[in-house]
Chains A and B, each alone.
Chain A
């Protein structure tokens, strides 16, 4: 069990002053959830060792060329994230990492999941 921002948003956990919006999340996946996993970048785009990872942006939407939703993960140790209660249809996902100085990587390859 984890403390998350809303019941629909498990996996994104930060400390918040307002406990009123914290909800307990269970870990049972639902058919309408999408769980992403990835490998974090170990190098810069120039091939040098990269140690300044600050977090990730997850982009998703129903159009692979224009994803209209984004989630910022401020936890550099994250390698998985679950987006819950997606609507029916095909959803596309891409991921970018960003550094402590704000530099953002290119986007990962797109993956998709169809919710019945």
Chain B
């Protein structure tokens, strides 16, 4: 599915930081999510995310050592001079000085450098509620210097290492945080480790917690969290090759182009007791894959599973990872002929090799690794090609399905590509017609995968109305997503899925602002009313009602998060080779 990235000119400022301490313990799967049939996709982390997932709000910014251009720079009152690329920072992305680097044509010090957060947020409760909570916020930092705030914020007090600002009327303007001086005594004690937190949560942050409690509460009923967009394995399939390139917990911001640290995603899964769906960049080398598997094995709670997916939608010809796979396939099998599907064969091979590595690293815990083969919902052939991967000849190679693949994942979206309807009645008639087509796709998958004895799950799914040009269609689609009939459409989609033999359905997505790029969020804002459930947005009601009225329905799903030691076989013995 195409998701159009919302792109604003980047704002400003300073990163914050801190290296939060990871909590060492993991929640056991809760009764709420251990029997749930649904998972949910997380959205990209950025300064305008509707998730607002972190206690330290500065973590939503894109500020890292390799992304200094995200800083806004001011010289007097001229506005952003767009000299962020010349901001000198430490390894974590904090400015060490206001003097630009030597490449800047203007060598004079900046007046200030800074960044925006809590900006461009949509209002909660269908546009009638707050954009984010009003009240006091605390800025904590190490080092010497001075800070200022702008936008919705007004400075209340300032002391060494701790400033307080107040927001009386939250708006889309958000908050700007600026370093106006740093390291005044030139001793290297510059402002760093910056944290911005709601005053009410300051003690929670100081205790080492990472996540906004409101965010954790809305995730509590989902069986699995898919972190594809947190890890920025999105429409471009990810861009990292080497493990050393990955984002770090100590980075000032986690909202940069290479995504949020894997550790943070694993900790979120631990904090909610959910299984963790981890996507791997299509350009990652084997060392990256091995290190990622090792990290996940170390950090993920022992009662949780890791879903492992190589890239995202490699079958989708509009994504660069599809072209990459085809090119790599042609290099790998130069004599396969013009009829060969190089891309799907190469993807199948990489998914299989990735699974081999993960299963090997996890050793006796390998049953908690669910290797996923992604495919197109409308075309089951995309799955069988990758599972068979007949071009990958040689000892122990094809079929790819034999390399521990645990499930095929598709995206049973509905409503995509519908002709523009004139009104809601017509639109919902069209949606219901389309739901029948999607159900037929699912039935086709059940038949196609039977020889492989593999289940199929949904890596994404839900309505997919997009009015990219805006206008009346966008207004209609937003209204449809706020209409009770959309809840009924979701209930139909979930029940069809269940009846067609599908297993875990990972809805797309948790929280997103409606726009001409789509209305993807089950919630539009973290601060939507969700209690009582009858007051929640219709899609949220549909998800929660389905979870509460349908315990997971496939064999072994209840309590399948983790396994009983009494059912674990002893290792085979007397292994010989000749």
Q: Is the C-beta of A69 less than 8 angstroms from some C-beta in chain B?
A: yes
Residues in A72-109 with C-beta less than 8 Å from chain B: 72, 74, 83-87, 93-109
Nearest residue (CB) in B for A54 is B569
Given A68-B360, A104-B366, A8 and B567 contact (CB-CB distance below 8 Å):
no
CA A40 to CA B572, docked complex, whole Å: 5
B335 CB-CB contact with A under 8 Å: no
CA distance A113 to B395 in the complex (A): 15
Give chain B nearest CB distance to A65 CB in angstroms. 10
B569: which of A45, A66, A93, A113 is its contact (CB, 8 Å)? A45
What residues of chain A lie closer than 8 Å to B366, measured between beta carbons? 57, 96, 104
Does A5 belong to the interface (CB within 8 Å)? yes
Given contacts A69-B356, A72-B403, A105 and B577 within 8 Å (CB-CB): no
B180 shortest CB reach to chain A, Å? 51
Q: Does A27 contact B (CB under 8 A)?
A: no
Establish whether residues B575 and A38, one from each chain, have CB atoms under 8 Å apart when the complex forms.
yes
Q: Which residues of B contact A67 (CB under 8 A)?
A: 356, 360
Q: Within the assembled complex, what's the spacing in Å between the Cα atoms of A106 and B366?
A: 9
- Chain A contacts with B in 8-37, Cβ cutoff 8 A: 8-9, 12, 14-18, 21, 32, 34-37
What is the minimal beta-carbon distance from A1 to any residue of chain B, in angstroms? 20
Question: Which one of B384, B388, B395 contacts A84 once the chains associate, using CB atoms below 8 Å?
Answer: B395
| B572 x A71 contact (CB < 8 A) | no
Bound CA span A30–B452, Å = 29
Known contacts: A8-B393, A105-B570. The answer to whether A72 contacts B398 by CB under 8 A is no
Q: Are B571 and A41 in contact (CB under 8 A)?
A: yes
Interface residues of B in 357-392 (CB under 8 A from A): 357, 359-361, 363-367, 384, 388, 390
Output the least CB separation between B166 and chain A (Å).
Answer: 53
Indicate whether B429 reaches chain A with its CB closer than 8 angstroms.
no
- Asked if residues B394 and A85 are in contact (CB atoms below 8 Å), the reply is yes
User: Interface residue tally of chain B, by bracket?
Assistant: 35 or more
- Chain A residue nearest to B556 (CB atoms) is A101
Using known A-B contacts A5-B398, A41-B572, determine if residue A103 contacts B290 with beta carbons closer than 8 Å: no
Complex: A112 Cα to B360 Cα, angstroms: 17
Assuming the contacts A35-B577, A59-B359, A83-B396, asked whether A50 and B572 have C-beta atoms less than 8 A apart, the reply is: no
Q: Is B186 interfacial (CB-CB < 8 Å)?
A: no
**A95: which B residues are within 8 A, CB to CB?**
571-572, 575
Contacts of B451 in A (CB 8 A): 14-18
Q: Cβ of B353: which chain A residues have Cβ within 8 Å of it?
A: 68
Contact mask for chain B residues 547-578; partner A; CB cutoff 8 A; 1 contact, 0 none: 00000000010001001111111111111111
B568 touches A59 (CB 8 A): no
B355→A9 contact, CB < 8 A: no
Cross-interface CB contact of A107 among B290, B398, B399, B571, cutoff 8 Å: B571
One of B367, B384, B395, B569 near A83 (C-beta < 8 A): B395
Chain B, residue nearest A33 (CB): B395
At the interface, yes or no: B402 with Cβ under 8 Å from chain A? yes
Query: Chain B residues near A14 (CB, 8 Å)?
Result: 451, 453
Distance between B452 CB and nearest chain A CB, rounded to angstroms: 8
* Docked CA distance A36–B566 (Å): 28
CB distance from B117 to the nearest CB of A (A): 42
Contact A93:B575 (CB < 8 A) given known A44-B569, A46-B565: yes
The 5 residue pairs across chains A and B that have the minimum distance between CB atoms: A104-B367, A103-B563, A106-B364, A103-B568, A70-B356
Residues of B at under 8 Å CB distance from A? 286, 290, 353, 355-357, 359-361, 363-367, 384, 388, 390, 393-399, 402-404, 450-453, 556, 560, 563-578
A-B contact pairs, 28 of them (CB 8 A): A9-B397, A18-B384, A21-B388, A34-B577, A41-B571, A42-B570, A43-B570, A44-B569, A45-B565, A46-B565, A68-B353, A68-B360, A70-B404, A74-B453, A83-B395, A83-B396, A85-B394, A93-B575, A95-B572, A96-B364, A97-B571, A98-B367, A99-B569, A100-B556, A101-B556, A102-B560, A104-B365, A113-B578
